[in-house]
Amino acid sequence: MTTVSNGTGGSNGTKETLGPRASLWLSLVLALLFGALSVLVLHPAAQHLRSLADGRPVWATMRTNGPCMTGGCLVSFEAGGREVLAELPAGSGSKALSVGDSVDVRYRADDPRVAALARDVDGGGAAIPAVVSGALAVFFALFACWWAFAPWRRRRSVG
């Protein structure tokens, strides 16, 4: 059970606990949040990365520092005779890259600004968090069911 201080600051040491209904609602909210994260954010990101698996390969130069897992990393490369600046999507590699590093990317032939690191086009960078988030959603949904039926189980075992 989760314990929360009563906030009185007194020395009596009393503690309040979350009741069954609060635990039920908290579990349901967490299940919905993790489920929504998995289905609405992480799964589409993995699909987007997989869609670039048959993209055109090219060597690019990093234009920003840091890990690209949350997105926002820029790369530049030549496509169709012109210099292209593309933003790597969220879920692109967890390794921190530096400005000037040469990286292998794949891009869409019809829109070179849509690119991803070649090592990430299998979708694994975003697929693993999607599976973990989905598993957490199932865990919290089962926990909510357990809390919902706990009073019924107690009454049945007593009677």
- Please report the beta strands in the chain, taking only residues with DSSP state E, as ranges in sequence order: 3-5, 15-17, 56-62, 74-79, 82-87, 102-107, 115-117
CATH number reported for the structural domain that contains residue 73 in this entry: 2.40.50
Interval 49-67 mean pLDDT: 89
pLDDT digits (tens, 9 = 90+) for 87-144: 988 767 767 788 888 999 999 999 999 998 888 887 666 778 888 999 999 999 998 8
User: Please, which pLDDT band fits residue 69 given cuts at 50, 70 and 90?
Assistant: confident
Number of domain units in the chain: 2
In a domain, 7, yes or no: no
In a domain, 5, yes or no: no
In a domain, 101, yes or no: yes
Tokens of 36: 């929504």
Shared domain for 58 and 116, answered yes or no, is: yes
Domain ranges, residue 133:
20-50+122-154
Residues 121 and 52 sit within 8 Å (Cβ to Cβ): yes
Tokens of 105: 């990317």
Shared domain for 111 and 145, answered yes or no, is: no
pLDDT at 48 over 60: yes
Helices and strands, counts by H and E, the chain: 3, 7
Query: How far is residue 68's CA from residue 90's CA, in Å, rounded to a whole number?
Result: 7
Tokens 């933003």 belong to residue: 87
Shared domain for 71 and 116, answered yes or no, is: yes
Shared domain for 63 and 110, answered yes or no, is: yes
Shared domain for 101 and 44, answered yes or no, is: no
Shared domain for 44 and 25, answered yes or no, is: yes
Query: What is the pLDDT at residue 139?
Result: 94
Shared domain for 107 and 128, answered yes or no, is: no
Residues 98 and 52 sit within 8 Å (Cβ to Cβ): no
Query: How far is residue 52's CA from residue 36's CA, in Å, rounded to a whole number?
Result: 24
Tokens 């130069």 belong to residue: 61
Shared domain for 61 and 110, answered yes or no, is: yes
Query: How far is residue 70's CA from residue 106's CA, in Å, rounded to a whole number?
Result: 19
pLDDT digits (tens, 9 = 90+) for 77-90: 999 899 999 998 87
